[in-house]
C-alpha cells in the first residue's frame, strides 16, 4: 500500500501527532513483515514493545520491526526553520519538506498540492493521510478533489477548543467543514474529537484510535539511590514532595492555575516544557511569592522524562482544552497519580476516584485541595497510580494501536 501523508510538522520539530505518525509507521511495517510469515504456517506473534515544538533528534531511534515490504509511506511537510533537508528518509517515512517557516505553513494547501500531484504521477498513491484538520487537512481535501479514486484518511489530534477553531476558520467555514465531510475515514484520538467530526457533518466510517505510550521508556524503574541523586541534582531535598506538569507553556494548558494553586502548599513544582508564556509565568510566580517553590526546567526529551516522573508525587495538568492528553498517559505509565480537568479527551481515560482526580476548570483553590488530598492520603494515591498504570498497559500500547491503524488502512 502506498500512502502519502500531509503534515505541517515532522522530526526534528514534533508534538504528539508527529510522534504518533512515527510510532505507527514503524510498527505497521513490522506487523506487515510478521503477518507475511503466517502464510507459510509460521509463528503468528508480533514483537512487543505534547506540539511540544522543540527539536527531538535524539528521540528518533532506529525503527523496530521488519522491512516495510508492502507499505510505502511518504510525507509532505514544512521546513519549519529552513535548515532541514529537502528530501530524506526518516525511519519508514520518506519526507519531502517545502518552503520555510510560517509563510510555508499558510501556503501549505497550495504548495503541498502541487508537490503531491507530481509525486502521484510517479507513485500512484492508494491513500492520502492528513494529520489534523488544519492546512494539512485542506491540502488532502484539495488532492481528493483532483484524484477522487484515492482514499482520504483524516486523523484528528486537535487540542484547541471549538471556539478557537471557529475563530480561526470563520472566513472559510464551508471549506473547513469539507475537510471532515469529504474524508473516506476519520480516526479521532478521543470521543471528544469524534463528536466534533459528527458536528461538522461527517457520516462515513470512523473509529477512535488514541495515541499511545512508549511503554519500554515510561515503565522503566530506577534504583532509590539513583532517584535521590537526581533530586539532589535538581536542588531538591530527599523529603521534598514534588508536583509535576509537562506541557507547552501556552494558555490552553493552564499552567497559571497550577502556580496559583501551590501558594499555600508545602511542595516543590517541576514545570517541564517551553513556550511563549514562560516569562509571564515566571513573573506570576514571583508576584504571588512562590518562585522559590518552582523549577522551570525547559524542554526535556522523551528519554529523560521518566526520571522526572519517578521523583514526582503528583502529576497535574489543568488543561482548558485538550484533544487527548498524552502527557497524562505517560505519567500514568510511570506510576504517578494524576489530576486533570474534565474537558476534551481527558475523560476517555481519567475516571474520578479510579484512575485520577478531576479539578474544577480554572479553580486554583479546588486544585490545591486535590493536590493536598493525594499528598495526605497515601492509600488513595497508591490506588489511583496502580489503576492508571494498568489502564495504560492494557489500552495504550503503540503495538496494539499500530495493529488497529493497519486495519483501518486495509478497510479503505
The pLDDT tens digits of the residues spanning 18-32 come to 999 999 999 996 654
Q: pLDDT confidence of 70, banded at 50, 70, 90?
A: confident
Mean pLDDT of 262-288: 97
State the fold for domain 2-212+397-411: Rossmann fold (3.40.50)
Q: pLDDT confidence of 168, banded at 50, 70, 90?
A: confident
Predicted confidence (pLDDT) per residue in 311-367, tens digit: 999 999 999 999 999 999 999 999 999 999 999 999 999 999 999 999 999 999 999
> Is the model's pTM score more than 0.75?
yes
pLDDT of 191 over the 60 cut: yes
Q: How far is CA 358 from CA 72, 256, 302, in A?
A: 43, 17, 26
Most confident among 34-43, 67-76, 401-410 (mean pLDDT): 401-410
Q: So what's the pLDDT on residue 43?
A: 30
Q: How far is CA 166 from CA 86, 116, 169, 187, 395, in A?
A: 33, 28, 5, 21, 32
Mean pLDDT of 176-184: 97
List, in sequence order, every beta strand (DSSP E) within 64-194. Answer: 72-78, 87-90, 93-98, 127-131, 151-156, 185-188
Nearest CA-CA partner of 210 in 157, 253, 166: 157
pLDDT of 263 over the 70 cut: yes
Q: Of residues 270 and 81, which shows the higher confidence score?
A: 270
Q: So what's the pLDDT on residue 31?
A: 54
Q: pLDDT confidence of 155, banded at 50, 70, 90?
A: very high
Q: What's the rounded Cα separation, in Å, for the pair 189 and 123?
A: 29
Nearest CA-CA partner of 2 in 97, 64, 68: 68
pLDDT of 34 over the 90 cut: no
Nearest CA-CA partner of 409 in 197, 153, 132, 207: 153
Q: Where in the chain is the domain with CATH 3.40.50.2000?
A: 2-212+397-411, 215-395
Total residue count of the chain as it appears in this document? 412
- Mark 24-42 as b/e (b = at least 16 C-beta within 10 Å): bbbbbbbbbbbeeeeeeee
Mean pLDDT of 397-408: 96
Q: What are phi and psi of 339, to 5 degrees?
A: -125, 130
Q: Of residues 281 and 159, which shows the higher confidence score?
A: 281
Q: Of residues 370 and 54, which shows the higher confidence score?
A: 370
Mean pLDDT of 177-204: 97
Q: Which residues contact 295 (CB under 8 A, 6 or more apart)?
A: 234, 235, 268, 269, 270, 271
Half-sphere CA count of 115, side-chain side, radius 13 A: 23
Q: How far is CA 398 from CA 131, 172, 401, in A?
A: 17, 35, 5
CATH number at 215-395: 3.40.50.2000
Kind of pairing, strands 268-272 and 294-298?
parallel
Element containing residue 294 per DSSP (H, E): strand 294-298
Q: So what's the pLDDT on residue 218?
A: 97
Q: What's the rounded Cα separation, in Å, for the pair 325 and 305?
A: 15
pLDDT of 55 over the 60 cut: no
pLDDT of 46 over the 70 cut: no
Amino acid at each position: 500500500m502506498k500512502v502519502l501523508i500531509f503534515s505541517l510538522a515532522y522530526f526534528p520539530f514534533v508534538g504528539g501527532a508527529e510522534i504518533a505518525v512515527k510510532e505507527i509507521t514503524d510498527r505497521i511495517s513490522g506487523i506487515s513483515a510478521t503477518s507475511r510469515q503466517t502464510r507459510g504456517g509460521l509463528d503468528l506473534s508480533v514483537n512487543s514493545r505534547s506540539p511540544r515544538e522543540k527539536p527531538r533528534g535524539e528521540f528518533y531511534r532506529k525503527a523496530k520491526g521488519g522491512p516495510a515490504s508492502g507499505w510505502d509511506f511518504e510525507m509532505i511537510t514544512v521546513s519549519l526553520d529552513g535548515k532541514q533537508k529537502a528530501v530524506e528518509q526518516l525511519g519508514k517515512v520518506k519526507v519531502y519538506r517545502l518552503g520555510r517557516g510560517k509563510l510555508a505553513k499558510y501556503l501549505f494547501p497550495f504548495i503541498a498540492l502541487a508537490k503531491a500531484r507530481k509525486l502521484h504521477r510517479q507513485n500512484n498513491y492508494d491513500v492520502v493521510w492528513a494529520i489534523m484538520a488544519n492546512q494539512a487537512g485542506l491540502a488532502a481535501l484539495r488532492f481528493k478533489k483532483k484524484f477522487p479514486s484515492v482514499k482520504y484518511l483524516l486523523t484528528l489530534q486537535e487540542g484547541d477548543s471549538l471556539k478557537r477553531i471557529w475563530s480561526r476558520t470563520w472566513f472559510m467555514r464551508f471549506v473547513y467543514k469539507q475537510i471532515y465531510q469529504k474524508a473516506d475515514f476519520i480516526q479521532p484520538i478521543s470521543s471528544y474529537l469524534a463528536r466534533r467530526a459528527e458536528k461538522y457533518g461527517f457520516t462515513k466510517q470512523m473509529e477512535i484510535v488514541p495515541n499511545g505510550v512508549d511503554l519500554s521508556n515510561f515503565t522503566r524503574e530506577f534504583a532509590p539511590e539513583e532517584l535521590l541523586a537526581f533530586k539532589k541534582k535538581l536542588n531538591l531535598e530527599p523529603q521534598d514532595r514534588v508536583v509535576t506538569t509537562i506541557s507547552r507553556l501556552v494558555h490552553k494548558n493552564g499552567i497559571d492555575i497550577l502556580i496559583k494553586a501551590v501558594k499555600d502548599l508545602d511542595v516543590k513544582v517541576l514545570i517541564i516544557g517551553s513556550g511563549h508564556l514562560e516569562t509571564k509565568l515566571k513573573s506570576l510566580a514571583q508576584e504571588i511569592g512562590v518562585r522559590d517553590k518552582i523549577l522551570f526546567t525547559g524542554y526535556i526529551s522523551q528519554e529523560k522524562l521518566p526520571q522526572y516522573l519517578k521523583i514526582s508525587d503528583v502529576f497535574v495538568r489543568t488543561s482548558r482544552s485538550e484533544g487527548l492528553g498524552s502527557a497524562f498517559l505517560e505519567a500514568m505509565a510511570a506510576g504517578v497519580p494524576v489530576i486533570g480537568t474534565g474537558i476534551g479527551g481527558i475523560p476517555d481515560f481519567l475516571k474520578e476516584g479510579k484512575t485520577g482526580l478531576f479539578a474544577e476548570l480554572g479553580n486554583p483553590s479546588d486544585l490545591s485541595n486535590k493536590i493536598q488530598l493525594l499528598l495526605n492520603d497515601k492509600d488513595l494515591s497508591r490506588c489511583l497510580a496502580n489503576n492508571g498504570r494498568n489502564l495504560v498497559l492494557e489500552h495504550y500500547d503503540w503495538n496494539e494501536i499500530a495493529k488497529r491503524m493497519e486495519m483501518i488502512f486495509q478497510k479503505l
